[in-house]
Amino acid sequence: MKIICIGRNYTEHIKELNNETPEEPVIFIKPDTALLRNNNPFFIPDFSNDVHHEVEVVVKIKKPGRHIPLGFAKDYYDEVALGIDFTARDVQSQLKAKGLPWEKAKGFDHSAAISAFIPLGELTNEVPEGIYAAAFSLEKNGMVVQSGNTNQMIHNVDEIIAHVSEYFSLRIGDYIFTGTPAGVGAVKSGDQLKGFLAGKEMFNFVVK
């Protein structure tokens, strides 16, 4: 399986990092060794002094596809999770300055924290729009540090799937991280991170 991630998908987050708003989704991929599950602790890697949390809604691909038309994209997922795209911001800044790929900053071991999946229908119980207007947030040590709503995405989940599948064949079990809202910031040893999606606690783990 692969972990496909979308960058710069929320306007307020683009502003906080002084990035340009992209015309097409910004795509990068993490290897399967990036997965962190089951509320296991996240260990800050030695090579970074500035690892940021990016809370993101994640969908799981349920059938194979490529060149998926926009109108059919919704048939390719029916479960959703909440995750954190951990980012070594200091490393990423150095790479960006040199125009180099972001992999070392984004794809390192355990950089893709992910909750258990829930059926999309659980979101529809909260709001009729379901995945298209789902509220989510991240608490750090009991304080809300990021909150967003999927209705703020520049490219919604279906548009992401249609676009990504022009370049990468999607397979059953692939994950798509759909971008982070504003409020990203550094984590430090001892922090407790709790994520909420549509009012439901999705993950709760510590940083070491």
Rule CB under 5 A: which residues touch Zn ion?
A: 54, 85, 180
Tell me the C-alpha distance between 92 and 76, whole Å: 31
Contact criterion met (CB below 8 Å) for 130 and 92: no
Residue closer to Zn ion, measured from CB, 65 or 87: 87
Min CB(190)–Zn ion separation in Å:
23
Min CB(85)–Zn ion separation in Å:
3
Residue closer to Zn ion, measured from CB, 6 or 162: 6
Tell me the C-alpha distance between 19 and 15, whole Å: 6
Burial 105-114 (b: 16+ CB within 10 A, else e): bbbbebbbbb
**Residues across the chain:** 208
Tell me the C-alpha distance between 43 and 4, whole Å: 22
Contact criterion met (CB below 8 Å) for 10 and 180: yes
Coil/strand/helix, residue 124: helix
Min CB(179)–Zn ion separation in Å:
6
Min CB(27)–Zn ion separation in Å:
11
Tell me the C-alpha distance between 82 and 201, whole Å: 9
Coil/strand/helix, residue 195: strand
Phi-psi group of 122: left, alpha or beta (phi > 0 → left; psi -120 to 50 → alpha; rest → beta) = alpha
**Which residue from 123, 40, 113 is spatially nearest to 80, judged by alpha carbons?**
123
User: Which residue's beta carbon is nearest to the bound Zn ion?
Assistant: 85
Residue closer to Zn ion, measured from CB, 58 or 65: 58
Min CB(7)–Zn ion separation in Å:
6
Residue closer to Zn ion, measured from CB, 76 or 177: 177
Min CB(67)–Zn ion separation in Å:
25
Residue closer to Zn ion, measured from CB, 112 or 198: 112
Residue closer to Zn ion, measured from CB, 96 or 124: 96
